[in-house]
Structure 1
Amino acid sequence: MGGKDDGDSLPDIVNTCFLLQLLLRNFMVTLAGKKLHIALVGNPNSGKTSLFNTLTGLNQKVGNFPGVTVDKKTGSISLDHTQKAELIDLPGTYSLYPRRADEWVAYKVLMNADEDVKADVVLLVADASNLKRNLLFCSQIIDLKIPVVMALTMNDIAARKDIRIDIQGLEAELGIPVVAVNPRKNKGIAELKKVLLQVSRQQGTVHTREFIDTRKLAPESVEQVQRILPQLSDYATIHHLINHEQFPLEQQVQDAIEQAETETRFNPTKTQAEEIMQRYHRIRQIMQQNVLEPGPLEKKLFTEKLDAVLLHRVWGYVILLAVLFLLFQSIFWLASYPMDGIEWTFSQVTGWLNNTLPAAWWSDLLVNGFVAGLGGIVIFIPQIMILFGLITLLEDTGYMARISFLSDKLMRKVGLNGKSVMPMISGFACAVPAIMSARSIENKKERLLTILVTPLMSCSARLPVYTILISLVIDDKYYFGFLSLQGLVMMGLYFLGTAMALIVSYVMKWFINIKEKSFFILELPTYRAPRWKNAGITMIEKAKIFVTDAGRVIIVISLLLWFLSTYGPKDRMEQVENKYAALIAKEPQHEDSLQKQLSSEKLQHSYAGILGQAIEPAIQPLGYDWKIGIALITSFAAREVFVGTMATLYSVEESDDNSSLRQKMETARHKDGTKVYSLAAALSLMVFYMLAMQCMSTLAIVKRETKSWKWPAFQFVYMTLLAYGMSWITYHIFS
């Protein structure tokens, strides 16, 4: 009987094994097909951005984390030929005890308390040259019992410091995989992907080892909360005791945790202090066993020698001014060739379309609405790419942080501090992310002042306005063979905007009544060779953002303007057409000149012309005509729209003219025959665009950051009045 049972059960065992093998294979296929979500975390200046760019290349998206104005960078990577993953770059943070809004974003994702962003695996970036500090954050993540892989960066700097790390010993102590990488040289990236794939396929495996015994920090409190939330690790439970109000929990659970805190007399401050002491005690042991460091009398690093020059109390400022001077000279010098090529191309395309397409409303819309607006976008892409590329190189080398350090003394005199410099310099690119980055300023008064004056910095949206106006009234001449006069004027506008921001901040500091002590603590990163690939990626991404975001607005407004400047009240338009039909019939030999006069008069009687002439009395003291008035109104959607507006207005007025926008603006005349774009009028207009708050997006972000409409309303009023007053002064000085 027993033998028969054994014989009958053998096929069942084989079938069961085959079935299990099939299920396992299907599970692996399913797992391989599922897109993984990997959270990239680490301390600031640990090489996190370098690794993100190397892993993702151009497969990046930039947005905001749900519910907060914090940059959310995500990118797609392939771990092997079957497994895709989404890499989420979380804001840099030093520990799991957040203080700023961006640190809270990273914290909630790691605590699995973010309802929109979930991570299957954590990729932790640690700086090999400063491992002790980085291990604190690492140890906290390990105790959360989530799958984690450490990418060890800055190994070349550690080697130059004569720091030797036993990676295998470090792995054994931490209980997680450690991979040495160099994103700049693409070293260790293939191995890192392989390890990430292995760890992702072991999801669910519980970490048996703890870095420290976190339960002993508050045993009774942990036990009570785990009865409510049994899925939490001991360390995650402690964080729920400290920050449960910030997590998306039902009210019943919130109340139960609160009760547990009270009953067990849980002390968050004492628990946190004890935890940090225990972690650093264990970190010191690990460092002694696995890291060989040189003595304190070792020779200075190259970085320290370079800082002796670049942070010198005299030469540091001279070098800073020279760097900024070269930055603005390069924007004109390098961009002039591609811009001339783009301008010629659009002129040829416009001429070809005018000669090829039949005379109809749709062809007029295409040529004078769409193509004219598109030309106003594309021509400025070279300058925007060059500006962002150079700023990226300054950040990449580590010099941008030195600018903050050098500027702190000056900033404090006007009510700011050195940390205000980073948002203000970022304001040269765009005020929206610059204002968001002011969160790094802990002092409330200094943060508010930074937000209020940052829009005075000349952002890249003003660049198209500056460029076309400078080219109209400033001679293209060079001093000493390399100093561009146009570049010097451009730099002067940027410096004037900065000076106005400092003056306004100095005045405002006496009226904003927030008393809070201010401290300036800044970590200076090591100098590194610039990564041209990283600069290239940034340039392409910023160009794409400009074309898709600003470009959409410009095209829509260009098409709307074409309609407003082509059509008008029926009786007025008919009256003009009848007048010139009679004149052409009477003087057919002057038909060409009469057709041009007809186009000009129709534009004046169009809806756009009526609007422009209505506001003309208010802007005439600044030297502007009604067409510029229309551009000032449309620019409140986006400053770049100025160029598209002028392109559309002049194209509608002179629809058969194939000359470039710059040529049309150069020949524009007032009724008395004087130039519209004289030196005085052009400088006045540049000053207005430099100081006016013509950006709805900036006002919206100020409201979001200050949680009040009071400050954006104040900002709009003071900047508009300042712009009008300074433009009036400029016009009358140069008239």
Structure 2
Amino acid sequence: MTSPVVGLVGNPNSGKSSLFNLLTGLRQRVGNFPGVTVEKKSGVMRIENLPPVEIIDFPGAYSCYPTSLDERLVVQELTNPKGDLFPDAIVYVADVTKLDKHLLLFTQLRDLDLPMILVLNMADLIEEEGLQVDVTGLSRRLGVPVVAVSARANKGVSELKKAIADLLRNPQEFRPEEPFYEPGVLARDVLGDLRQELPARNDYHALLLAHHASWLKHVPEKTRHKVQEARVKNGFHSLRAQVEETMERYDTFEPIVRDTVRRAKNKSSFSERVDDILTHRVFGPMIFVLIMLLLFQALFAWTGWPMEGIEWFFETLGNTVRENLSEGWFTDLLVDGIIAGLGGVLVFVPQIAALFLFITILEEVGYMARAAYLFDSLMQRFGLNGRSVVALISGHACAIPAIMSTRTIANWKERLLTIMVTPLTSCSARIPVYVILISFAVPKGTFFGFGYQGLAFAGLYFLGIISAMLSALIFKLVLKSRERSFLMLEMPDYRTPVWRNVGITVWQKVKSFIMEAGKIILLISIVLWGLSTYGPSGAMEEARAQVQKTVEEQGLSDDDAADLLASEQLEASYAGHVGKFIEPVIQPLGYDWKIGIALFTSFAAREVFVGTMATIYSIGSADDELRIRDRMAEEINPRTGEQVYNPATAWSLLVFYVFAMMCMSTLAVTKRETGGWKWPVIQFTFMTALAYVSAMVVYQVLS
């Protein structure tokens, strides 16, 4: 027997992802749905006497008449019985406290003749909200098994697994006896003309295919033309039919909810009382800025000890390897290339984990939706949408899923603008660069309890946000669109975070960062070590001869001679030639050829900058105990005799990394989301030009 597939479906904020984590634990895979960049989460659930059950967590959707690309994906997969992701059964997750709002999509999927279970999630709030729920009556009236579950409190899960097992063993027992909705006269006329053309399971399935044939990928092109002809012939108006169907469905299921879910007298809920403050037009934005300030301050100030522990580990590992292996190129590659490169980036994992932790908590407690509502009117002035706030905040963790999240923005222009400017928000890959350069740019000290360096760290994040907003305003003036904007958003109740969800999310994100960044850094570190160690034979021999002459003339010690030889050979290496080639272009920004090498390599991914620095400054260093920051602090410009990493150069680099597009993966996602290379090229060009000009102005002014 093949592994059965169960789809988790429900409205946004129904607790669907919490239930997914509960059913699958760490037996999860994260990928993309076929042909699109929407993140697909799937996992394995174990049920006795059944093969491993694959659980697919579909994106949140409100209806089978989508207003976002996420909803389109749900309709695409659930109307394609021959698709690889078509489920054997559906577990429909609804918030029991908002059941009257969450049953529209349920009744539509029920009419698709899909075996279903209705999960009443948030069951722990039934008593708290003063609800009386007739689960048996609801099951009888809706014609499906109904299970009350609290994913937060881990209650009702065993009953749900039993219901899923029964559903998978006997799916025919859970077929609907009669539909919730019958297509109208015009729809029936259209379906009559297309009966032979549409490969539908029933009338409602055929109706959805008729509505969405123009964009459903599994509908053949020939059929699309015939659908359009049939719609024109019968005067079928799709939007009007959708509205009529939606109203009729509400008329059908709302009485069922009223009869089976009884509420206590209306009273102001905890969420409403909190919203009076957090969404206040004056206090709301102030509280948001304070939350962000505390978040960035925490990232910089509260992760010192674990970072020092990781630094110590890689120092000890490098010294141990060098002491126990014989001298030679292989030992140098391990210590100066691989260990130095990886250690230079993995030391920042505590801060990256902290960033994902804070953002996940904000999502779990329900604050992200408030931020979208709070700033919608402001976003509109810049050509964006309230949902753009979610993408911009998520962009502080990683621009890739943030860009994917724009699929919930229905307006094309607002979605495009959000995609274009989201990479300007400082993602977790910039953390290593910021941390190491701020130590050169800003002195230690405190201001009303806030560290200067932590404030500078927060300032860089706010600079990214401000630049994103101003860039969006410019794009808004350039791009013209008549499409109307609107924000449709459901406010979830405030709830204590489900720490299991938080832990799983942070673990997956950090693991993904380590694996993805690790592969890039490992490859670049090995290549860079080779380019930095070897060079044209004539140039390398000339460098050795020059060093030998200097040693004899000045009587240098063995350690000084080794450092001088390493420096001269690095300059004569292939990497040195690359750095020297681009040095005239970056010199107005205050950068030397070594920084040029790091800029060149980090266009693959920003975090490679620190790994490159670690590799360059490790090669030939006589003192293995020196950490990368100490080694950079000792670097002297031979022309001026000043420190290379002075405040002017450090600030120039910081501003460059705030604005520059240094992530090939982000460009690839932009290309997939916009359908071509036009917008990624524009995005890369304007961000790089902004970075270059801004960094040059900063350096020239400060120096």
TM-score range, shorter chain: over 0.9
Distance of aligned partners of 1:397 and 1:632 in 2 relative to their CA distance in 1, 3 Å threshold = same
In structure 2, do the counterparts of structure 1 residues 528 and 616 end up closer, same or farther at CA, with 3 Å as the change threshold?
same
What is the aligned partner in structure 2 of residue 14 from structure 1? none
Shift of residue 205, structure 1, vs aligned partner: 4.6
Match of 2:258 in 1: 288
- TM-superposed deviation, 1:586: 8.2
Select the residue among 406, 416, 419 that pairs with 2:374. 406
Deviates most, 247-256 or 365-374: 247-256
Q: Distance in 1 between matches of 2:689 and 2:377?
A: 30
Q: Tell me the CA shift for residue 333 of structure 1.
A: 2.5
Q: Does the CA-based 8 Å contact 2:122-2:151 persist in structure 1?
A: no
In 2, Cα distance between equivalents of 1:541 and 1:698: 19
Bigger mean CA deviation after superposition, 696-705 or 540-549: 696-705
Distance 1:619 1:247 in 2: 48
Query: Equivalent of 1:450, from 415, 418, 425?
Result: 418
Deviation by residue 1:171-191 (Cα, 9 ceiling, x = unmatched): 001111111111111011111
1:349 aligns with 2:321: no
2:627 is the alignment partner of 1:657:
no
What's the counterpart of residue 367 of structure 1? Answer: 335
Match of residue 538, structure 2, among 564, 567, 571:
571
**Unpaired runs of 5+ in structure 1?**
1-29
8 Å contact 2:533–2:569 — kept in the other structure? yes
Indicate the residue corresponding to 1:644 in structure 2. Answer: 611
Tell me the residue number matched to 2:207. 238
Aligned residue-pair number: 700
The amino acid that maps onto 2:689 is L
Identity across matched positions, percent: 45
Partner of 2:521: 554
Cα distance in structure 1, aligned partners of 2:643 and 2:359: 37
Looking at structure 2, the residues matched to 94 and 160 of structure 1 have their Cα atoms a distance apart, in angstroms, of 26
The alignment status of 1:710 with 2:678, answered yes or no, reads yes
- Equivalent position amino acid for 2:510 in 1: A
Does residue 1:440 correspond to 2:408, yes or no? yes
Other-structure match for 2:153: 185
Find the residue that maps to 1:38 and give its secondary structure. strand
SS at match of 1:212: coil
Conserved 8 A contact 1:350-1:658:
no
The alignment status of 1:531 with 2:498, answered yes or no, reads yes
Verify the 8 A CA contact 1:113 1:248 in the aligned structure 2. no
Contact 2:579 2:594 in 1 (8 A): yes
- Name the structure 2 match of 1:27: none
The answer to whether the 8 Å contact 2:210/2:227 transfers is yes
Residue aligned with 1:461, SS: helix
Q: TM-score w.r.t. structure 1 length?
A: 0.90
Matches of 2:338 and 2:619, distance apart in 1: 12
What CA distance in whole angstroms lies between the structure 1 residues aligned with 2:384 and 2:240?
34
Shift of 1:203: 3.0
Which of 634, 644, 651 in structure 2 is aligned with 1:683? 651
Summarize deviations over 1:353-376 as a string: whole Å, max 9, x none.
222211111111111111111102
Tell me which residue corresponds to 1:12: none
Letter in 2 for 1:349: L
Contact preservation (8 Å) 2:635, 2:644: yes
Counterpart in the other structure of 2:572: 605
Name the residue aligned to 2:478.
511
Q: Secondary structure at the match of 2:477?
A: coil
- Change in 2 beyond 3 A, CA 1:594/1:409: same
Contact between 2:659 and 2:690, CA under 8 Å: does it hold in 1? yes
- Alpha-carbon distance in 2 for matches of 1:522, 1:250: 34
Corresponding position of 1:334: 302
**For 2:165, which of 190, 193, 197 is the aligned residue?**
197
1:616 to 583, 590, 598: 583
Give the equivalent residue in structure 2 for 1:422.
Answer: 390
The CA deviation at 1:128 is 0.8
Alpha-carbon distance between aligned partners in 1 of 2:556 and 2:245, rounded to the nearest angstrom: 94
SS in 2 for 1:214: coil
Corresponding position of 1:13? none
Q: Find the aligned partners of 1:213 and 1:309 in 2 and give their Cα distance.
A: 42
Report the 3-state secondary structure (helix = DSSP H, G, I; strand = E; otherwise coil) of the residue aligned with 1:185: coil
Q: 1:414 deviation in Å? A: 2.2
> Residues of 1 paired with 2:115 and 2:467: CA distance?
51
Q: Partner of 1:152 in structure 2?
A: 120
- Is the contact between residue 108 and residue 114 of structure 1 (CA under 8 Å) also seen in structure 2? no
Query: CA separation of 1:678/1:81 partners in 2, compared to 1, >3 Å: closer, same or farther?
Result: farther
Checking the alignment, whether the CA contact within 8 Å between 1:368 and 1:655 is kept in structure 2 is no
1:700-727 deviation line (CA, Å, top 9, x unaligned): 2222222232222222222122112211
Preserved CA contact (<8 Å) 1:573 1:606:
yes
Alignment root-mean-square deviation, CA: 2.3
- Matched AA of 2:624: D
Establish whether residue 277 from structure 1 lines up as the match of residue 277 from structure 2: no
Q: Distance in 1 between matches of 2:82 and 2:587?
A: 55
1:384-403 Cα distance to aligned partner (Å, 9 max, x none): 10000010001111111111
What is the identity, as a one-letter code, of the residue corresponding to 1:242? H
Q: State whether structure 2 residue 68 is matched by structure 1 residue 97.
A: no
Distance 1:592 1:148, change over 3 A: same
User: CA-to-partner distance for each residue in 1:643-685, whole Å, 9 max, x for gaps?
Assistant: 1100111111426533111111111111032111111111110
Letter in 1 for 2:457: M
Asked if 1 retains the 8 angstrom alpha-carbon contact of 2:181 and 2:245, the reply is no
SS of equivalent to 1:41: strand
Report how far residue 51 of structure 1 moved. Answer: 1.1
SS at match of 1:396: helix
1:85 aligns with 2:43: no
- Letter matched to residue 661 of structure 1: I
Conservation of the 8 A alpha-carbon contact between 2:200 and 2:206: no
Q: What is the aligned counterpart of 1:626 among 573, 593, 600?
A: 593
Q: Is the 8 A contact 2:46 2:53 kept in 1?
A: yes
Answer with 1 or 2: which has the greater Rg.
1
Q: Deviations over 1:86-120 (max 9, x none)?
A: 11111111111123221111112211256332211
- Secondary structure of 1:639's counterpart equals coil
Tell me how far apart the structure 1 counterparts of residues 4 and 622 of structure 2 sit (CA, whole Å): 55
Residue deviations 1:419-477 (CA, integer Å, cap 9, x gap): 22111111111112212222222223222222221111111111110011123343343
CA shift in 2, pair 1:229/1:499, >3 Å: closer
- The one-letter amino acid paired with 1:675 is Q
Find 1:310's aligned residue among 271, 278, 284: 278
